[in-house]
Structure 1
Amino acid sequence: MEMLWRAYFSLNSCYVYLKKNNHTTLISIFDYILIGFINHIAFKMRTIFTLLILTILYSCINSSKADQSQQSANNFSQNILSEKFKGMNYTGPGRGPLGTEPFSSMKEVGTNIVALVPEASLFQNNLKVVHDFEGQWYGETSTAILEGVKQAKEVGLKIMLKPHLEPGIDVSDWERPEVDFTDSLSIVEYGKSAKEFFNKVDIKVRKRTNWRGDLMAKNDDDWLLIANAYEQYILKYAVMADSINADAFCIGTELKVMALEKPDYWRSLIKKVRKIYKGPITYAANWDSFDQITFWDDLDFIGIDAYFPLSDNKTPQVEELLISWQPVKDRIEKLQRKVGKPIVFTEWGYESEDYAGKTPWGSEGEVNIETQVNLYESTFQSFWDESWFLGVFIWRWSPPNELGSSYNFTPRGKQTETVIKEWFNKE
């Protein structure tokens, strides 16, 4: 019995010593204890104590590896968050491949990180979350995302994965009529059939919507269906983020009602993502509710899709816009001080149209490059030099086949591109 107690205390002392001394003398300690037991314990007992010693040593080593892994993850997060994000959102073309050109052209204006945007649809009539379906926009498929990762890394861009969820309708039960798009009567009949189908669809979400921020279940059972399906979608891309060594990961975008009503769900999802992906994590909150989110403390930086209305004028001037930005900036800075996390505009941009500052999420007007330029310039002047402001992801950089279009968000090929280049390359 005395010998067993000695064995116990020897092993315990070994464990404490190894923890304190970071295992620098593992082999010599192991040999010392093992020889001591061989000299004092019968042969049959030797195997038991040897296994016990090995078990304790294994536990010590794995504990150290876990600590080192967590420290490595923390260092990784601190490193990526130490440099301003000069980012672009990129959704790619409707058809593949992506090619290198979009990424090299981003790099030329000073971009250092790209947000690649896979997209899934939540069918409002059966609550299924579907991704990589036939006919999907190519740039938002998993195949395109992996292609984008390769192309972005080749030109030296960092990567954030930013999965989106869009409301949709499952049309598999629609008996579509044949349509001849050169025949106006055929097109009318096709449209009539579509309208009848959509009007008869039984909607299972709280309300029929075209915006992701409104998506929410009618009851608890249906919420579980949505929650589980969305979790599987996000964890799939968390695995991808880990496998490609992504520099950041966004767990959701503008899911306003879901984020405000189900904060515990998001906290749980964040924990599950962190078990897979060790880099910085954020959520992209809509501009009208960013300071109502209650789980910012579980994330690494505060993401805002910054489509704040700033002016009712057709062509607002920079001076006017700077004044309009000030109360918004005060709100953002108040949240930043409260949470202690840096701010990133995970989406931000304007169409090159009249009144783009009135409804920045979508405008209807004539081409107006000056409006887009002034909106960009005023935002950079308001935020870029603040120490708590970590940067932007512009919505959005366009593929080459969209260069001729002025009626869209892209700054590419417009005077706005010069503004971006000046600020992205500012010392």
Structure 2
Amino acid sequence: MKYLLSSVALVFISSFFWFFSFDSNLPVWKEKYNGVCWVGSRNPLQGGEFQELTANGINAISQTPFGWQSEINNPEIRWLVENDRQWWGESGRGISATLDSSQKFNIHNMLKPHLWARGSWPGEIEMTNEADWKIWFENYENFIIDYARLAEKEGIPMLCIGTELEKTSQREAEWRKIIQAVKKVYSGQLTYAANFTEYQKVNFWDELDFIGIQAYFPLSDKKTPNLKDLKRSWENHIQEIEKLVRKTGKPVLFTEIGYCNTVDAAKEPWVWPNERKEIALSEEIQAMCYQSFFETAYQKDWLAGVYFWKWYPEGKRRDPDFTPQGLQAEKVMQQYFLVD
């Protein structure tokens, strides 16, 4: 009996140390970036926009200028850091002014340039031959370097080098070349915003400071899900994320996460509002999706921050939409952001 007890104790102690040595690769991030994806406004800011953010406990924003691709198989990319046809908030001068105004409220900035693919989305961008791939990567490198230089000039502390470019990110050598080029002109922190279907297949996380995930994970197929359903789904997604966190030792940023104020928000969170016009509105489901995130993934020490898509400087503008502004979801966000 004494031998049996000693054996059990030994197994317990061994398991104890195995558990903590196994989890020792999980990074601990002390102060989260409680962020929103800032919508560049058509006109200059009027004042008061950042007081509203701080009242909600928001301490970080991402700013998003655009490059344009006419077709997903066309290697041409068009962009101008300064362009009279741009909305003010997406121009270099607007980005700079927004940075200056937000920093007065101790709001952290990430510059997160996107490609706008006509009639599609960035995850479908794919060339049909090697010659076009070469041209596309040359163009993309020039595009992101221009914004890296802007970020360095303005002192923007974080740069996202790409967003949801799922069919390009498997070309590891080309992306490593881009990262090295960015590091020659930009001294801040770097991430890449991988789609939730992509992040496990990216092989250049070692070159970056954060694993970036566009966290539009499906949460429930039920017509009327409950909080328990949504949290159970999150726990499954968390297990998969933690496998990569252990492997890389890198903290995670949810570079985007969001839910429309519709009854189907939990099923396919990524679906654009224009495709939900016939769907019934529901503040309750949107708020429940927020709560399920805050009660699960948000509690993880490896999560360095989260950016909710999206936040209008001038307030909520349409239904359905992703923004939590003026809805129950804003109160949920405020509850957790102000406590953190």
Letter of the aligned partner of 1:279 in structure 2? G
Letter of the aligned partner of 2:46 in structure 1? G
Letter of the aligned partner of 1:130 in structure 2? R
TM-score, normalised with respect to structure 2: 0.85
2:172 aligned with 1:263, yes or no? yes
2:334 aligned with 1:414, yes or no? no
**How far, CA to CA, are the matches of 1:234 and 1:347 in structure 2?**
19
**How far, CA to CA, are the matches of 1:279 and 1:135 in structure 2?**
29
Letter of the aligned partner of 1:326 in structure 2? E
2:244 aligned with 1:330, yes or no? no
Report the equivalent of 1:142: 92
**How far, CA to CA, are the matches of 1:146 and 1:86 in structure 2?**
21
2:335 aligned with 1:385, yes or no? no
Deviation at 1:126, TM superposition (A): 5.4
Quick check: 1:87–1:393 contact (8 Å CA) kept in 2? yes
Letter of the aligned partner of 2:129 in structure 1? N
3-state secondary structure, aligned to 2:75: coil
Query: Of 223, 235, 243, which aligns to 2:133?
Result: 223
Report the equivalent of 1:83: 31
**How far, CA to CA, are the matches of 2:155 and 2:113 in structure 1?**
16
Report the equivalent of 2:68: 121
Report the equivalent of 1:36: none
Letter of the aligned partner of 1:361 in structure 2? W
Change in Cα spacing, 1:406 to 1:101, as seen in structure 2 (3 Å) is farther
Deviation at 1:263, TM superposition (A): 1.0
Deviation at 1:337, TM superposition (A): 0.4
Report the equivalent of 1:397: 311
Quick check: 1:309–1:357 contact (8 Å CA) kept in 2? yes
Residues 32-43 of structure 1 mapped to structure 2, 5 A cutoff:
none
Query: Of 139, 145, 153, which aligns to 1:243?
Result: 153
Deviation at 1:229, TM superposition (A): 1.2
3-state secondary structure, aligned to 2:51: helix
Change in Cα spacing, 1:330 to 1:151, as seen in structure 2 (3 Å) is same
Quick check: 1:131–1:141 contact (8 Å CA) kept in 2? no
Residues 28-427 of structure 1 mapped to structure 2, 5 A cutoff:
82-93=30-41, 95-124=42-71, 127-132=75-80, 135-168=85-118, 210-260=120-170, 262-362=171-271, 364=276, 365-400=279-314, 402-427=315-340
Change in Cα spacing, 1:404 to 1:162, as seen in structure 2 (3 Å) is closer
Deviation at 1:102, TM superposition (A): 2.9
Quick check: 1:315–1:370 contact (8 Å CA) kept in 2? no
Deviation at 1:371, TM superposition (A): 0.5
More helix by share: 1
3-state secondary structure, aligned to 1:160: strand
Deviation at 1:145, TM superposition (A): 1.6
RMSD, aligned CA: 1.7
Deviation at 1:313, TM superposition (A): 2.7
Deviation at 1:82, TM superposition (A): 4.8
**How far, CA to CA, are the matches of 2:311 and 2:49 in structure 1?**
8
Deviation at 1:137, TM superposition (A): 4.1
Letter of the aligned partner of 2:321 in structure 1? N
**How far, CA to CA, are the matches of 2:75 and 2:233 in structure 1?**
40
Quick check: 2:218–2:269 contact (8 Å CA) kept in 1? yes
Count of matched residue pairs: 304
3-state secondary structure, aligned to 2:181: helix
Change in Cα spacing, 1:244 to 1:381, as seen in structure 2 (3 Å) is same
3-state secondary structure, aligned to 1:268: helix
Deviation at 1:92, TM superposition (A): 2.1
Deviation at 1:143, TM superposition (A): 3.0
**How far, CA to CA, are the matches of 2:250 and 2:240 in structure 1?**
14
Letter of the aligned partner of 2:75 in structure 1? L
What are structure 1's unaligned runs of at least 5 residues?
1-80, 169-208
Which one has the largest radius of gyration?
1
Change in Cα spacing, 1:88 to 1:221, as seen in structure 2 (3 Å) is same
Change in Cα spacing, 1:99 to 1:264, as seen in structure 2 (3 Å) is farther
Deviation at 1:150, TM superposition (A): 2.0
Letter of the aligned partner of 1:141 in structure 2? S
**How far, CA to CA, are the matches of 2:108 and 2:305 in structure 1?**
14
1:252-302 CA distances to partner (integer Å, 9 max, x unpaired)? 000000002x11111111111112212210000001111111111111110
1:310-344 CA distances to partner (integer Å, 9 max, x unpaired)? 11234422111011112111000111001100011
Quick check: 2:74–2:127 contact (8 Å CA) kept in 1? no
